[in-house]
Chain A
Amino acid sequence: MPVEFGPDEFKTNERRTIVTRFWIFLFLLVPILGVGVFLWAPYAGVYLPQDVSTHGHKIDHLFTFILLLTGAVFIATEVVLVVFMWRYDRERNQDPVKFTHGSHNLEMVWTIIPAATLLFIAIYQMNAWAEVKIDRPDIPPTLKVTARQFEWRLQYPGPDGVLDTRDDIHTVNDLHIPVNEQILIHLESDDVLHSFFLPNLRIKQDAVPGSTIPVWFRATEIGAFDLVCAELCGWGHYKMKGRLTIESREDFENWLEQKRQEQEAVQ
């Protein structure tokens, strides 16, 4: 005859109460450490990297905004979970179980409030999106970027100011752009998908073979930053890195001229 065995096994005793408290404490650690990690992150230097673009602050602002909002939801829900675990523990809770099948009003409340919140986020962010991906500036392209396994080929218009002519200036993995100017890049790929990722400019765009995709931005500070390939493109994906140099118009032109001369010397 099989033995009946069940929850009764865990009936009240001292040890059990302590163990229960321990579990509740463990769940409490989640919000505490979760928040802690995010507070610590900026000090550890693993947080949004320095932003040197005109649109980046909007993205960072959105990130922070969503972080605060979801953070609040996170803390609230986790704390409620822990409090309920504490309050309604089998040992602690002397009241009879609240026999209920739910509440229509509550359901409405917790459908409508998140709905409104989410709708708000959705609408709130549209401008930033439009700025980066929809409102394309009406200027000739500053340069053409062609991704290929595993390098970035950059092509600047030569003295005639037109791309795809004989006097174009070619570089590899060495991206220079003038500061405080509207830049428009034509992004292409020769072989597979790549992704043109400038972390500090808050720019990311996949390069799709067969399409020319416009990318635009405006840099605000002089400096040197990473150009990362952010889409798996084969075994060498990890080493497909370029260098972005943001410099003054003058330096930029000097550099361009120098490159042009180097190129002519070779030919």
Chain B
Amino acid sequence: MELFQILDEGGQLVGEPPAIDDATLVEMLRLMLLGRRIDQKAISLQRRGKLGTYAPLSGQEAASVGSVFALDRESDWVVPQYREQLAMLHHGLPLSTYLLQRMGHPQGSELPKDGTLYPQQVALGAHLPQAVGLAWGLRLQGRPGVVLAYFGDGASSEGDFHEACNLAGVRKAPVIFCCQNNGWAISVPWHLQSGSPSVAARGAGYGMPGVRVDGNDVLAMYASTSEARRRGLGGDGPTLIEAVTTRLGAHTTADDPTRYVPADQVEQEKARDPITRFRTWMTATGRWDDDAHAQADRWCDEQIERAVAEFDSTPRPDPVTLFDNVYADEPVRLLRQRAAFVADRESR
């Protein structure tokens, strides 16, 4: 399948850029830069024992930012897997909450109240049928909005992926399946995950368009997501977008990619850096310069400092809260367990 590109590796236009105003383009680049910075910070926090396992996003900034910016945050929903820091932030999640989540603090599970954001999903692909139900439910109620569901190439081998795509197709649910194909399921390269060269090729089997997009081209991601959104809103149902992207770092901080990633591939992928490409074009078209970059750097500093400060000052959770939120209407036995728990803690 053809790869849809607007900006090529060198930052040259090879297609029609989508209509995005300059301020928004700047915001997009800033968010991409923030992503890279969050990775650095989180990895260093993890090394100092302040965060649990962290999944870096570096290399996938364009795929996330280009797609999520095509949404209307009021009415469109984001249903992430676990590497969608940027889409989640853009959709209202405070960075400090994200960090708390990664440190294993229950407060990290907070979601924006009345927001249009789903929780992180650990089980690969399990959120996809949920995204379909959500989109279908919006449609049933005549509410506007589409659902943008992210998942990886790895998740595309799960049965849930198939059942979700198929149900979406038959119910014409306004959902956008955005597969972040970074070529790896932890240590397993795509060619050991599937006999198909492309995830997008699966669209046809569900009666939906499947498009293969350069995921490191933020403009192509924006354009194809916008198009998918139009289809969804117009009642034409789901779209499958395969964002062909790169995982520049490890799978997570618990992973050692030198065990399995060929050294030359690392070099090749660096050349596809989505930030460099976008910045080159932004600079060449007069939308960005060293000043803007310095300003963006300061903005990133602020975001991160503020988030880390909040994170640092969040008290450890009260142990008894482990009983919270399991049921809306708590069974007697659980209430008693809670009481016994309190008594046990006090007995120490």
A binds B: no
